[in-house]
Structure 1
Amino acid sequence: MASTPIIKTVRRQFKALFVSDAFEGILLIAVAATAMFVANSAVSESYHHLFHGELFPSETFKLNTLHLWINDALMVIFFFVVGLEVKRELIAGNLSDPKQRTLPVLAAIAGMAAPALVYITIAGDAPNLERGWAIPAATDIAFAMGVVGLLGSRVPAALRLFLLTVAIVDDIGAVMIIAIFYTANLKLAWLVGSLVVLGVMIAMNRMGVNRVFPFILAAIALWFCVLNSGVHATIAGVLAALTIPMRTQDDNSMLENLEHGLVGWNAYLVVPIFGFANAGVDISDLGLEALIDPLPLAVAAGLVIGKQVGIFSCVFLADKLGIAKKPASCSWPEVWGVTILCGIGFTMSLFIGELAFPGYRLLIDEAKIGILTGSLISAVLGYVVLRLTTTHPEEKDDPTSPVV
């Protein structure tokens, strides 16, 4: 018996769950949901003590909680992979061609500025909230591409590429924001030490060192110096990645080998651990009214409204003014659907939220509520819009396919 169109559709959706992009997004959803469940269960006290309980006095070493080790040490791997990806894209990827990078770069800039403006408009007058302006500025690559993965081959390749490139440029902007706006109490000696180690790594690149081990040792030394310098330690991951040779003397790509070796660990271990440690919020302490407090409302609005308005307006104007064309063979509703997905700000937004309000647990938790709410709305709305405006290749010539 021939399969019905409905069965075919269900089969495609089931297979889509196990493609890499989709699985990463589903994993992050599951991690966030689990963290929220645990944080509001009978073991919530144990959950918070696990991550925030002191392991030893801070005088012994500044990373004296598991939460700090995750955010300031483990997440260096995440930022290292981001740096590798950025360098590869700049040298041999989509960002290496001025014509190809014009639209994503402009869109990413607009997609960071508009959410910040929305945030400031809503929360700007509230005391102590101005430092959170960058929270809704970042897009989570894994989460956004995961939603696209659920749609299978419905989403045109050009649109997938546009989303991926915007998210990469977004990451560059987020790293710059962290380095510039969330750095305080610089310690000159450690900063000089960081620059010396970075100089050594650049020299190793220029001298043609073709073994990974010296770079890894130097990267650890760079992390330790940056950690004590006042600049956030994760910046060391990006800086170290930029010194990794694209090609070695034996014509191997050390950069690509490292990226391929770490990307799985990053996606399936580092980011989920970070998400589980940071996404849990005890909403019983906040109450439902917290959803309409200035901070969570500003963050959620920045992600849901600011992202899509900023990016879509930029793409539309660039296309109409002849600055750059919209993704080939894509309709404006499809472009709109992808811009909505850019409002998923899970990993970077959670990270910036921790940096924006150090020592203010209530504000950090309210920011998390806004991030999770805004990201969930963006994910669901973006999926629905793309599901309604795109067609699976097998359905294009099938008159019996259900209209959705």
Structure 2
Amino acid sequence: MYRVWNFLTNYSLLLILGAVIALVWANTDAHSYHLFVDYPLWFNDYVGSSLHHWEQVLGEDAALFGHAETAKVLTAHYLVNDVLMAFFFAIAGKEVWEAVILKNGSLRGKKAATPLFATAGGMFGPIAVYLGLAWFLGPDKFGAVANGWAIPTATDIAFSYLVGRIVFGAGHPAVRFLLLLAIADDAIGLIILAIFYPSGDLAPAWLLLSLGSAVGVFFLFNWLPRRMDRGDQLRTRSTWMRNTLSFWPYLAAGALSWYGFAQSGLHPALGLLPIVPTLPHADRAFGFFAEAEQYLTDLLNHAEHLLKHPVEIVLFFFGLMNAGVTFSSISEPTWLVLAGLLIGKPIGIMLFGYIGAYTLKLGLPAGMRTIDLFIIGCVAAIGFTVSLFVASVAFDPGPIQDAAKMGALFSFAAAGVSILAGKLLRVQKVDV
């Protein structure tokens, strides 16, 4: 489990640093911060936000940048959120895919049944609380904020894992339960993003480009060399592909897949997901971010290792680009997001986890108490990274989006709630 701790700690520290800088900057000089975030890098007709939308966001400041009339503009914000974050979601997708598909995958079999059932509670609970409270605000306010229902469903894998270790200790079975739940939660979150939060008008035909890229690169650079190597103990062709071409064909296919997603209307940050399963991979899973993976030589784990430090930097810029909201933006959406996370998550996970463990007789891991489900729900209420991302796509830039982002940032309060709950409910920490 050392690699999990090391991997996620590195991610967390840079992400927090970027978010803190953004908060300080936005609350001391909001104008220069927003100019930085929406700074135009390239006016073009192919990639980026629509020019009209960018002009609306910048207002009079758009006139500062002389440019020809184009269809799109690639801004710093678009580069980070829509292009570079695709590598973050690819790493998350890789771990989920291995957990579901490979032998001994963590999300396969009875061992994952109760965490998966609890994950459903961690989705439905926050949605019910968010929409239920929004309904009491009246029809006008409900219509304005309803699209943010998915924001409190997210669980930040890195921070929830780190806090889980503090509350339960590294060796407690609840920590692994929490990690399974968080990964499954984000897997469902990716599906929610794809279905309910398109980035533009839907043009499904463009997904054929993504599908064709995935099928083509798998057939030509994975399946065909292995097929031709049958009977060849030296695996000449596969070895040549690995040593000479390495991950470059998959990167090219990823670029095509990303463009297909961007043109289809689905969020382009998900564009690399179809390519992940096409890379040559190990035959069995060793657990989420398992230490053993660093010794594997398959191309999929090698690519993840190469992406590790670049993605840490991407997450720094993600925090910098998305966490810059002023404290004056706090309003109803802030409290709706917080209520969904701090109330809906613990209750939903506790209720569904109990039903799964006892009503459906799926059971709990040895050494884990029923009340630990509630504490796990408190820890899982840290939404931060994915909640910020969903808030940025659920609402157009403006007061409602800023208020919802503030709720995602304030979800750090769940860490304190979790530690307090652990003390009051007498968690016996297991540090071995």
Q: What TM-score bracket applies, with the shorter chain setting the length?
A: 0.7 to 0.9
Does 2:125 match 1:110? no
**TM-aligned CA distance change 1:189 to 1:20, over 3 Å:** closer
CA–CA distance in structure 2, aligned partners of residues 111 and 96 of structure 1: 16
- 1:307-386 aligned within 5 A: 307-358=345-396, 360-373=397-410, 375-386=411-422
CA–CA distance in structure 2, aligned partners of residues 242 and 175 of structure 1: 16
Q: In the alignment, what sits opposite 1:271?
A: 315
SS in 1 for 2:265: coil
**TM-aligned CA distance change 1:232 to 1:339, over 3 Å:** same
**TM-aligned CA distance change 1:117 to 1:64, over 3 Å:** same
Does 2:78 match 1:40? no
Decide whether the 8 Å contact of 1:22 with 1:148 is kept in 2: no
Q: What letter matches 2:130 in structure 1? A: Y
Q: In the alignment, what sits opposite 1:192?
A: 208
Decide whether the 8 Å contact of 1:94 with 1:100 is kept in 2: no
**TM-aligned CA distance change 1:391 to 1:122, over 3 Å:** same
SS in 1 for 2:273: helix
CA–CA distance in structure 2, aligned partners of residues 393 and 129 of structure 1: 42
SS in 2 for 1:238: coil
Does 2:192 match 1:148? no
Query: CA offsets per residue over residues 70-126 of structure 1, 9 Å max, x none?
Result: 000010010110111112212145435311121121111221111111111122442
What is the TM-score of this pair, normalised by structure 1?
Answer: 0.83
**TM-aligned CA distance change 1:27 to 1:146, over 3 Å:** farther
**TM-aligned CA distance change 1:65 to 1:393, over 3 Å:** closer
TM-superposed CA distance for 1:372, in Å, is: 1.5
Query: CA offsets per residue over residues 381-403 of structure 1, 9 Å max, x none?
Result: 11222355334458x9xxxxxxx
**TM-aligned CA distance change 1:364 to 1:303, over 3 Å:** same
Decide whether the 8 Å contact of 2:172 with 2:429 is kept in 1: no
CA–CA distance in structure 2, aligned partners of residues 129 and 51 of structure 1: 24
CA–CA distance in structure 2, aligned partners of residues 345 and 93 of structure 1: 28
TM-superposed CA distance for 1:138, in Å, is: 0.9
CA–CA distance in structure 2, aligned partners of residues 65 and 135 of structure 1: 24
- 1:19-98 aligned within 5 A: 21-22=8-9, 24-41=11-28, 43-57=29-43, 59=45, 61-62=47-48, 63-90=73-100, 91-98=102-109
Instruction: Say which of 197, 221, 230 aligns to 2:256.
Output: 221
Q: What letter matches 1:262 in structure 2? A: L
CA–CA distance in structure 1, aligned partners of residues 378 and 320 of structure 2: 25
Query: CA offsets per residue over residues 43-95 of structure 1, 9 Å max, x none?
Result: 33222111113334364642521001100001001011011111221214543
Q: Which moved more, 1:59-68 or 1:174-183?
A: 59-68
CA–CA distance in structure 2, aligned partners of residues 187 and 317 of structure 1: 41
Query: Which blocks of at least 5 consecutive residues in structure 2 are unaligned?
Result: 49-72, 227-237, 284-295
**TM-aligned CA distance change 1:218 to 1:306, over 3 Å:** same
Decide whether the 8 Å contact of 2:77 with 2:321 is kept in 1: yes
Q: In the alignment, what sits opposite 1:234?
A: 269
Identical columns (%): 30
Q: In the alignment, what sits opposite 1:205?
A: 222
CA–CA distance in structure 1, aligned partners of residues 104 and 322 of structure 2: 32
Decide whether the 8 Å contact of 1:318 with 1:324 is kept in 2: yes
Query: CA offsets per residue over residues 323-361 of structure 1, 9 Å max, x none?
Result: 311232022343322221111111111111111113x42
CA–CA distance in structure 1, aligned partners of residues 88 and 341 of structure 2: 22
Q: In the alignment, what sits opposite 1:3?
A: none
**TM-aligned CA distance change 1:104 to 1:390, over 3 Å:** same
**TM-aligned CA distance change 1:269 to 1:51, over 3 Å:** same
Query: CA offsets per residue over residues 282-310 of structure 1, 9 Å max, x none?
Result: 223x3xxx34x2x2221111111111111
Superposition CA RMSD, Å: 2.5
**TM-aligned CA distance change 1:149 to 1:19, over 3 Å:** farther
Q: Which moved more, 1:179-188 or 1:342-351?
A: 179-188
Q: What letter matches 1:308 in structure 2? A: P
Give the total of aligned pairs.
365
Query: CA offsets per residue over residues 125-158 of structure 1, 9 Å max, x none?
Result: 422222111111110001111223445x725431
**TM-aligned CA distance change 1:30 to 1:382, over 3 Å:** farther
Q: Which moved more, 1:113-122 or 1:95-104?
A: 95-104
Instruction: Say which of 236, 246, 253 aligns to 2:281.
Output: 246
CA–CA distance in structure 1, aligned partners of residues 156 and 250 of structure 2: 28
